[in-house]
Amino acid sequence: MNKLILHIIIIITGFVTFNSYAQKSDFKGYRIEGDTIVFAFDKRDYNKISTDNYGLKRDFDDLDIESVVVSGEFNNWSKDKWRMTKIDENRYELRKKIDDFTDEFTWEFKFVINDYYWAEPSKSYPNIAKSTKDGMRLNNTYNLKMYTAYPSKDGNAYFKLKGYDDAKKVIVAGSFNKWDEELFKMTKTKDGWELTLQIKPGVYQYRFIVDGHWMEDPHNPHKTRNEFSEYNSVLDIKEYTAFKLRGYTNAQKVILSGTFNNWNEHELVMRKMDYGWKYVIPLTGGKHHYKFIVDGQWIVDPNNSVKEYDGEGHINSVCMVK
């Protein structure tokens, strides 16, 4: 699924707290609450433990638990950094903000007991993966799946499929959830199916799956051909971004120019403020180069330390939209 094309503009006006996350109820080891990942250890879920050296398993039995640590790819398999809080005699938890993680799609992790033993999860859990950690015999690990989209009633992307009253299940799958065929189930309404997602700024492709049959969005004219000689629908999630130039209050005219408007020298006339100049524009996720034109003079943003060469010997200020 590639060849992304900029088309539909769906705008968000700021950072929104994610209110929910479509997650299978039988996942083990973690849950997601709003914008927080809650790592959850329950002693009653384990019968076996193992050690680093040989990965040999032994019975959990009546091992006295003094500490539980979350150890995984996200903290370089540390056995002492991410210590969990005891909830009761069986349960431990650790809360981490989603923003603490990078945009990797999956993370392997396990729980460490008493800074030494690995708790061995059951192979029957749906989010179990065979460890790929070199040099460590970790047997099975949990698979924490991270997506750039989350169901939210106040989200910024509204999907609607009219009709299909006889369908039993309709799914939205796209590049924002690695084309997962089960995760984002749409809700049936009186005239079709709908789902609202909160999606990070960026350009995405998606399709509907109606009772196992893949189809493009018939109500979205923006699409791109995929590798199966069919079409994926396309949407562009944008975020309002404020550019500010402080000072220069004696200037007559200030223009914002950048890669987002093909370096147009006249289009984005900034508004004069008490502190200087301002312009707000919706931008697609990613990196954008920009400059200000103050009474005909091009300058970088003096209050932004992030700058890059553009390949033609020019230095530009950099704005990242995430």
Extents of the domains making up the chain: 8-15+149-238, 30-145, 240-321
For 165-194, what is each residue's pLDDT tens digit?
999 999 999 998 889 898 899 999 999 999
Question: What per-residue confidence (pLDDT) applies to 31?
Answer: 84
Cα three-residue angle 234-310-279, rounded to 5 degrees:
65
Quote the pTM value.
Answer: 0.60
The answer to whether domain 8-15+149-238 and domain 30-145 are alike in fold is yes
> b vs e for 115-150, b when ≥16 Cβ sit within 10 Å of the residue's Cβ?
eebbbbbeeebebbeeeeeeeeebbbbbbbbbbbbb
3-state SS, 147-167, equals: CCEEECCCCCEEEEEECCCCC
Q: In CATH, which of 2.60.120.200, 3.20.20.80, 3.40.640.10, 2.60.40.10 is domain 30-145? A: 2.60.40.10
Question: What per-residue confidence (pLDDT) applies to 10?
Answer: 34
Which residues lie across from 173 on neighbouring strands? Answer: 207
Question: What per-residue confidence (pLDDT) applies to 8?
Answer: 34
- Please state, rounded to an integer, the average pLDDT across all residues of the chain: 84
Q: In CATH, which of 3.90.1150.10, 2.60.40.10, 2.40.50.140, 3.40.50.2000 is domain 240-321? A: 2.60.40.10
Quickly state the pLDDT bin for 105 (edges 50, 70, 90): low
**Domain 8-15+149-238 sits in CATH 3.40.50.970:** no
Q: Give the HSE-up count for residue 150: Cα atoms under 13 Å, Cβ half-sphere.
A: 19
For residue 88 the two structure tokens come to 């009761």
Question: What per-residue confidence (pLDDT) applies to 154?
Answer: 84
Cα distance between residue 284 and residue 155, in whole Å = 16
Q: Is the dihedral of CA 176, 181, 187, 189 positive or negative?
A: positive
Greater pLDDT, 253 or 146: 253
pLDDT reading at 12 higher than 60: no
pLDDT reading at 87 higher than 60: yes
Which residues lie across from 70 on neighbouring strands? Answer: 82, 111
Question: What per-residue confidence (pLDDT) applies to 194?
Answer: 96
Question: What per-residue confidence (pLDDT) applies to 140?
Answer: 79
For residue 287 the two structure tokens come to 């990196």
For residue 213 the two structure tokens come to 């049959």
Quickly state the pLDDT bin for 138 (edges 50, 70, 90): low
